[in-house]
Amino acid sequence: MLASPKLLPQEIIRHLRDGQSLSAQEIDFFITGLTNQSITDAQAAAFAMAVFFRGLAPDQCALLTHAMMRSGKVLDWSNENLTGPLLDKHSTGGVGDNISLILAPAIAASGAHVPMISGRGLGHTGGTLDKLSAIPGYRTDPDEQLFRTVVREIGCAIIGQTDELAPADRKLYAIRDVTATVESIALVTSSILSKKLAAGLQGLVMDVKTGSGAFMQELEQSRALAKSIVNVAGRAGLPTRALITDMNQPLAHCAGNAIEVQHALDHLTGAHRQARVHEVVLALGAHMLHLGGLAPNLAAASDKVDEAITSGKAAELFARMCARLGGPKDLLSKSKAYLKIAPLSLAVQPKRKAYVKSIDTRAIGLAIVQLGGGRTRHQDAIDTSVGLSQLAMIGDHVSPEQPLAIIHAHSSLQAESALAALEAAYQLSEEPIAAQSQAVIETIHADGDEA
Ligand code: URA
């Protein structure tokens, strides 16, 4: 028998660079080397850049996704005696996007199990994990046993990526983050799906953002990403749909960590429900329940999610999940005491009466980072108490009495620099502008999925 030729990282990179396809062995070799550190960071960066420029055909992307999934543990839930399907949703990242905090317990209350492994903020976008860190005591890194117990008994657990799940993605992601190779359809697809497949899901709904606050700002790019994820997930046997949703303005009318948790709690308890947020929760949730076989059609599924929220069942499950993961037992009734908001408030006042014409949503996200609510370096700690509230949306009438936003900061220096960023982020018009209230733009299905 002939021995197979020795694989060399530089040859694999050269093949990619020259637009040739890789064999499954080459992909496995590279990803194994990334995980066991026999591939250097420089080689991983060159690999990412070659994929960035050349792209990957769907079969190659599926091989990469599988290799990254197999770089660590793949959760098996078959011994847990779960009473419903394992479902999840994942967002490609936005500003004022606190949907997971509302959706996970709503889906749990509708009969499914949601093992939601979420990430930290990235670039200008907020992360669910950072939002949860605003809740005192909440453990985003429970041991696997506790994670399994909470998913089984309460129905949902939102935690961070562990060292065991898709470690190759963690490594490659950190390198992409500092080498301008995040915005690659093949790399985003394999990064997201390797983690979702490792979590042992039975259905996934993607929220692919588009617009000024999204990584893929053009609708065509967002559509291509959504199609890539749905297609590669289908090849891996994970039924998946993707909704493309608007990020030309923040989703909630607030952004920041503690502020967004309070907004989500207000939504769950009914203290305040914002229509755009509710629209996105119902749309994503309806597809999740329908994919999981928990409703005969999308209309019935949407009603079920609505009922889970308006009945207070989702709020109750969120509170139980928090308490079980180390957070306060009375979070719902005493949220304002636990979720600390920075003491200084500054209104961003336009000089004259006007209408909001457009918003640079990315700049709003970066203003939060500047306030300390996000990171500029991987190792940075964040300040969960800073943020923005009462963000004006497109079409809103603003005036010196009706501000563009309220900044929550610790010092006037901090607040003044966010003020300049926000003033620049808003384009105003003297003429009335139509509101853009609808957030869900389109749905991408796998071939043969008729929902
Ligand atoms: N989220 C991920 O998990 N990976 C990406 O590449 C982009 C967003």
User: 340-429 in CATH: which number?
Assistant: 3.90.1170.30
Domain spans in the chain, listed from the N-terminal domain onward: 5-54, 87-335+440-444, 340-429
Amino acid of residue 240: T
State the closest ligand 1 atom to the C-alpha of 176, by its place in the atom list counted from 1.
6
State the closest ligand 1 atom to the C-alpha of 184, by its place in the atom list counted from 1.
6
pLDDT the model gives residue 2: 58
Amino acid of residue 82: L
Per-residue pLDDT of the chain (451 residues; tens, 9 = 90+): 556 668 999 999 999 999 999 999 999 999 999 999 999 999 999 999 999 999 999 999 999 999 999 999 999 999 999 999 999 999 999 999 999 999 999 999 999 999 999 988 878 888 999 999 999 999 999 999 999 999 999 999 999 988 899 999 999 988 998 888 988 999 999 999 999 999 999 999 999 999 999 989 999 999 999 999 999 999 999 999 999 999 999 999 999 999 999 999 999 999 999 999 999 999 999 999 999 999 999 999 999 999 999 999 999 999 999 999 999 999 999 999 999 999 999 999 999 999 999 999 999 999 999 999 998 777 788 999 999 999 999 999 999 999 999 999 999 999 999 999 999 999 999 999 999 989 999 999 998 887 7
- What residues contact 267, with CB distance under 8 A and at least 6 apart? 102, 273, 274, 277, 278, 281, 309
Going by CA atoms, what residue is nearest to atom 5 of ligand 1? 188
How far, in Å, from the CA of 63 to the mean position of ligand 1? Answer: 17
Is the CB of 140 inside a 6 Å radius of any atom of ligand 1? no
Is the CB of 192 inside a 6 Å radius of any atom of ligand 1? yes
Give the separation between CA 322 and CA 7, rounded to whole angstroms.
48
Is the CB of 92 inside a 6 Å radius of any atom of ligand 1? yes
How far, in Å, from the CA of 144 to the mean position of ligand 1? Answer: 23
- Cα first-last separation, the chain: 51
How far, in Å, from the CA of 195 to the mean position of ligand 1? Answer: 10
pLDDT the model gives residue 4: 62
Going by CA atoms, what residue is nearest to atom 7 of ligand 1? 188
> For residue 347, what is the enclosing H or E element?
strand 344-348
User: Cα 139 from chain centroid?
Assistant: 19
pLDDT the model gives residue 3: 60
How far, in Å, from the CA of 188 to the mean position of ligand 1? Answer: 5
Going by CA atoms, what residue is nearest to atom 2 of ligand 1? 192
Task: List the beta strands (DSSP E) in 75-224.
Answer: 87-91, 114-118, 156-160, 203-210
Give the separation between CA 158 and CA 125, rounded to whole angstroms.
18
> For residue 429, what is the enclosing H or E element?
strand 426-429
Q: Would you state the CATH architecture of domain 5-54?
A: Up-down Bundle (1.20)
Residue 55 token pair: 């792209």
How far, in Å, from the CA of 44 to the mean position of ligand 1? Answer: 16
Catalytic residues: 88-91, 128, 176, 191, 195-196
pTM (global) more than 0.85: yes
Is the CB of 119 inside a 6 Å radius of any atom of ligand 1? yes
Give the separation between CA 363 and CA 124, rounded to whole angstroms.
8
Task: List the beta strands (DSSP E) in 234-306.
Answer: 240-246, 255-256
Is the CB of 188 inside a 6 Å radius of any atom of ligand 1? yes
State the closest ligand 1 atom to the C-alpha of 187, by its place in the atom list counted from 1.
6
How far, in Å, from the CA of 92 to the mean position of ligand 1? Answer: 6
Q: Residue for token digits 């709690």?
A: 265
Q: How many residues would you count in the chain?
A: 451
Residue 314 token pair: 């989702």
Going by CA atoms, what residue is nearest to atom 3 of ligand 1? 192
Is the CB of 191 inside a 6 Å radius of any atom of ligand 1? yes
Residue 101 token pair: 């905090």
In this structure, are residues 443 and 409 in contact, taking their beta carbons and an 8 Å threshold? no
Furthest C-alpha separation in the chain: 82
pLDDT the model gives residue 447: 85
Q: What are the beta bridge partners of residue 354?
A: 398
Amino acid of residue 26: E
Query: In a mutational test of the pocket of ligand 1, which residue from 61, 91, 124, 188 has the highest number of ligand atoms less than 8 Å from its CB?
Result: 188
How far, in Å, from the CA of 192 to the mean position of ligand 1? Answer: 5
Give the separation between CA 352 and CA 392, rounded to whole angstroms.
15
**Assign residue 408 a region: left if phi > 0, alpha if psi is -120 to 50, beta otherwise?**
beta
Whole-Å CA distances, 347 to 55, 389, 394, 416: 45, 10, 18, 10
Residue 118 token pair: 């979420």
Choosing among 3.40.50.10420, 1.20.120.80, 3.40.1030.10, 3.40.605.10, the CATH entry for 87-335+440-444 is 3.40.1030.10
Q: Residue for token digits 């809740």?
A: 135
- What residues contact 82, with CB distance under 8 A and at least 6 apart? 113, 151, 152
Is the CB of 93 inside a 6 Å radius of any atom of ligand 1? yes
Give the separation between CA 128 and CA 135, rounded to whole angstroms.
12
Rg (alpha carbons) of the chain, rounded to whole number: 22
State the closest ligand 1 atom to the C-alpha of 188, by its place in the atom list counted from 1.
6
Give the separation between CA 325 and CA 135, rounded to whole angstroms.
11
What one-character DSSP code corresponds to residue 383? -
